[in-house]
Each structure stands twice: as C-alpha cells, then as structure tokens.
A = this chain, B = another copy of it.
C-alpha cells in the first residue's frame, strides 16, 4: 500500500515540467534529476514511458528536452500513475475466482481500487503546483 518510486519520480518530473509549459521551453533530464534527486538514467526511462503514453513531448538534439504534451490542468494524477504502473493492460489475465468467497473479496477490492482511482483522478498537476505554492506562502508567513 505504498507509492512506488517509479510513480513518485514520474510525478516529481511532471511537476517540474508544469511551470515551464507556458513558456514552451523544454527542460532537460539533468535539470530535473538534479533538482529532485532522481538518478538521471532511471528518470530517462520513465520519461520515455510518459512520452509513449502521450503525456510529454520530447525534443531531440542540442537544447532539447521535455515538455508537457498538454496543459497541466488537463493531466490528472491517475493519468500518470496508471501509465507508469501500467494497470491499463491488466484486463488480459484476470484470474477467474473459483469460489463464491473469492467473488465477494474481489468485489470489495474493486471498491477499494475505485476509491483510490477517484482520488487520483480528482487531482491534476496544476492542483499540486498550486498546493505547493500555497504551502510555501504559509512558510514565508511563518518566517516573518
């Protein structure tokens, strides 16, 4: 019941990209990884996954980097986590429960999954950026 490193790294990277979306200037892996203490070669793989899922765009060559593919309020946390964790492709080998007890357990677990997904769907990258800004604002007020 804990967030995997993969998803956390991916979210951190996208949160870094979010403020840069307006300018249209790409951000490099090195920048993100040093900013968020993420191993850069690992982050590269995650960004490749996000690109294949259509969440970010990449620009190759010198002065290249990554940009969000669409506005930060149009990307939900569910979009990110589901593509990184890859639980879209889980419909293939759904094991058939053999007893009636197994069925009710699966039902409850479905309810759990749905609740988790609902929360991830209601937050967008923009929401998190706003939350972070608000939190920093509070910190400044306490500092004064």
In the complex formed, the residue of B with least CB distance to A35 is B99
Instruction: Assess whether A98 is interfacial by the CB under 8 Å rule.
Output: yes
**In the complex, what's the smallest C-beta–C-beta distance from A130 to chain B, in angstroms?**
9
Task: Tell me whether A3 and B109 are in contact in the complex, defined as CB-CB below 8 angstroms, given that A115-B115, A115-B116 are known contacts.
Answer: yes
What copy number does this chain have within its complex?
2
Q: Say whether, besides A12-B101, A36-B99, A98-B37, A128 and B108 are in contact (CB < 8 Å).
A: yes
Residue contact B135 to A102, C-beta cutoff 8 Å: no
Chain A interface residues (CB < 8 Å from chain B): 1-3, 8, 11-12, 15-16, 35-37, 77, 85, 87, 90, 98-109, 111-113, 115-116, 118-120, 123, 128, 131-132, 135-136
